[in-house]
Structure 1
């Protein structure tokens, strides 16, 4: 088989969730499949470290261009030029005019739901517009869809009215380097980012679903109740956005309780999870929620949401709160700050969750779907 994998963003310097999932899939396929030919299509190679080409895995940089043009023109053209038997698109969207068999990883359909967040950056809003235009058409062309949780599978099946057997659940997994780090490694990373000795960690962005506003409101509530809480460490945020949001909330002084680090490479995150007293992941809506498992693997107690996929991922190993009510998050933070015993129980239960989610099993299911697709008429 000649298999194409769309992995447009995996060689960029600042990789995030979907990029890391695609990297893990490709690495595992390299280990288990030495017979079929793979062509990994990327936009440009800013950082060539994620994937090393092998005899049957070829990295194909296509002309650098904005994503819609790259996908609809350059990728579609490459499918024909490389005489592919199938194309697997890993990031929700796909070329409309693709004459080969198509599989799509549809991480979520948040942008198609009535609960459609209209805030966020222009980049995020334009991305959602592109998905709203593209996804309804390409899912009809796909032989199979992959998604990352049973919750999201139900949402997709319900929204498109399609056969459930066409939507395969392939869980994300936790990369092997996510584990409790040594004190020496934690000290190095603490110095690198100037981290406080004790802190709460929040990973997110300005996309409204990540609930930055709710996190800041919960801190304001804690301050109002005279609760002594550690600084909040926030990677990959700009200060201007926070200052503006806090001013609007009437709590500008909270900027003094927030520690901004800039972008943190994936390889440094385990040491930061390992040092954090608590990890906050109170999203309004997720298709999976990989950072929940990453934090658990590093021995960090987690507070996350009781909505969408997050209870499916966290099980009983996290404190679940209502993300639409900042009061519940502030109460959850206060509860864990005051109870070392409760934090330790979450840590112990948390270590049991990541082994249930394995990238190799996911790659095996993906390869089987490739074979079934080519064997079907």
Structure 2
């Protein structure tokens, strides 16, 4: 990725776009896709000189503050009906019609990753089939009608509206759809995903990709994979837009971290950090095995701290973590508040992320920006993010190699200091501001696609 040029896109566009973003990924706990959606949408709201931006939650169009409040409600709760676009403000004067509560509940029951009702009922053949039918009804009919009503009220050549799905699969298709496809781990490593997630992605992503006007991917690696898997896709419509890191991810002194570390009973620079959901793709099995091979004195002086929510297929991982916690050299903190995470990064002695597959690798970037030496792997997109600023293992499952890398960074402070300096330089190549600017460019192209389509009718 070329060096960031802050002046390259400072000139305002000729026309102000209207953009609707699907906000369902904002539901907590927010991991990679949720963080991406939040950081992107929060900054898009500030670009009011460039776009009129609204977030779609169920059947409602709203601003970010309202969307975050909405996520506190259960997905099954009937949404309150709001109203549609006005020209220059966030007041909505005409009701959105055509989305029914049954369809919304069915969609999120059949497809969301966090619905207990889906897990309970979706596996029952008769009920599961009915849920999927209702879901399809909502996705392809009612939801689409809501967006179509917006379109009907606007002269497309003057005021185009773009719909952005930031989380793989759109609930309905739109003529000017922009979708973000984060990775293809569900294809490359099907055995590492729950059945429900495989069904959701398999059934929905192909339709979404083929129906999209423009596709955003976070890395050149993911772009290559997409074009290999969908060879008929026009390469010029697939755009690489890297992620960023928030300003809170920065180096900190021991004094700055003292209070938060006291809350977690941790010592500055005296723990090894992992951040990520507890799921097989993150390769915690190898990390735990590597830690077991370290000398006992090292493990007690430099415990392994695990931060992240429960994922899927994690029973074996949790059992191993609990066994090692009893022995005193592993600490599992679970999902931590967003204000605590940057401190935990910057106070770590090193960050270890032996992932098997990533579409980007946001935790690696956050660690680099926090001034922490990083150990990861050469898997998938990680070399694009880490550059030469991390120790990268050729084989993610090399237990001995990972243990040796952990020891090397601890035993060679000059090497660790060099990695920190390189990491800070590498992290400056990525920013959420750049992500927003390049995403706006993609929106503009999608709007031009729509205008061209209308002019040919």
Q: TM-score range by the shorter chain?
A: 0.7 to 0.9
The residue that corresponds to 2:55 in the other structure is 40
Contact 1:41 1:75 in 2 (8 A): no
Which of 9, 19, 26 is the equivalent residue of 1:3?
19
The residue that corresponds to 1:22 in the other structure is 37
The residue that corresponds to 1:159 in the other structure is 229
Q: CA deviation at 1:360?
A: 1.7
The residue that corresponds to 1:80 in the other structure is 148
Take 1:273 and 1:34, find their aligned partners in 2: how far apart are those partners?
35
Q: In structure 2, do the counterparts of structure 1 residues 287 and 58 end up closer, same or farther at CA, with 3 Å as the change threshold? A: farther
1:92 and 2:168 matched: yes
Take 1:152 and 1:185, find their aligned partners in 2: how far apart are those partners?
38
Contact 1:202 1:233 in 2 (8 A): yes
Contact 1:211 1:282 in 2 (8 A): yes
Aligned 1:168-187 pairs, distance under 5 A: 168-187=239-258
The residue that corresponds to 2:406 in the other structure is 333
Take 1:175 and 1:311, find their aligned partners in 2: how far apart are those partners?
21
* Deviations 1:20-51 (CA, angstroms, capped at 9, x unpaired): 2112222332333435332201359684499x
Q: Any idea what SS the aligned residue of 2:46 has? A: helix
Which of 204, 209, 213 is the equivalent residue of 1:134?
204
Q: CA deviation at 1:99?
A: 4.1
Contact 1:40 1:57 in 2 (8 A): no
Q: CA deviation at 1:150?
A: 0.6
Which of 294, 311, 323 is the equivalent residue of 2:383?
311
Take 2:70 and 2:255, find their aligned partners in 1: how far apart are those partners?
25
Q: Any idea what SS the aligned residue of 1:356 has? A: coil
Q: CA deviation at 1:207?
A: 1.9
Contact 2:257 2:347 in 1 (8 A): yes
* Deviations 1:48-101 (CA, angstroms, capped at 9, x unpaired): 499xxxx75689999674263498266445323443832110011112x42432
Contact 2:254 2:347 in 1 (8 A): no
Q: In structure 2, do the counterparts of structure 1 residues 111 and 347 end up closer, same or farther at CA, with 3 Å as the change threshold? A: same
Q: Any idea what SS the aligned residue of 2:351 has? A: strand
Which of 236, 254, 265 is the equivalent residue of 2:337?
265
Q: In structure 2, do the counterparts of structure 1 residues 132 and 303 end up closer, same or farther at CA, with 3 Å as the change threshold? A: same
Contact 2:18 2:52 in 1 (8 A): yes
Take 2:324 and 2:307, find their aligned partners in 1: how far apart are those partners?
19
Which of 185, 191, 203 is the equivalent residue of 1:110?
185
Q: CA deviation at 1:272?
A: 0.7
1:31 and 2:46 matched: yes
Aligned 1:203-352 pairs, distance under 5 A: 203-223=275-295, 228-229=298-299, 230-236=302-308, 242=317, 244-245=319-320, 255-321=327-393, 322-352=395-425
With the length of structure 1 as denominator, give the TM-score of the two structures. Answer: 0.86
Compute the RMSD of aligned alpha carbons: 3.1
The residue that corresponds to 2:261 in the other structure is 190
1:366 and 2:416 matched: no
Q: In structure 2, do the counterparts of structure 1 residues 142 and 343 end up closer, same or farther at CA, with 3 Å as the change threshold? A: same
Contact 1:242 1:255 in 2 (8 A): no
Which structure's CA Rg is the greater one? 2
Q: Any idea what SS the aligned residue of 1:265 has? A: coil
Q: Any idea what SS the aligned residue of 1:172 has? A: coil
With the length of structure 2 as denominator, give the TM-score of the two structures. Answer: 0.72
Q: Any idea what SS the aligned residue of 2:425 has? A: coil
Query: What are the ranges of 5 or more consecutive residues in structure 2 without an aligned counterpart?
Result: 1-16, 61-65, 72-87, 112-134, 152-159
Query: What are the ranges of 5 or more consecutive residues in structure 1 without an aligned counterpart?
Result: none
Q: CA deviation at 1:290?
A: 1.1
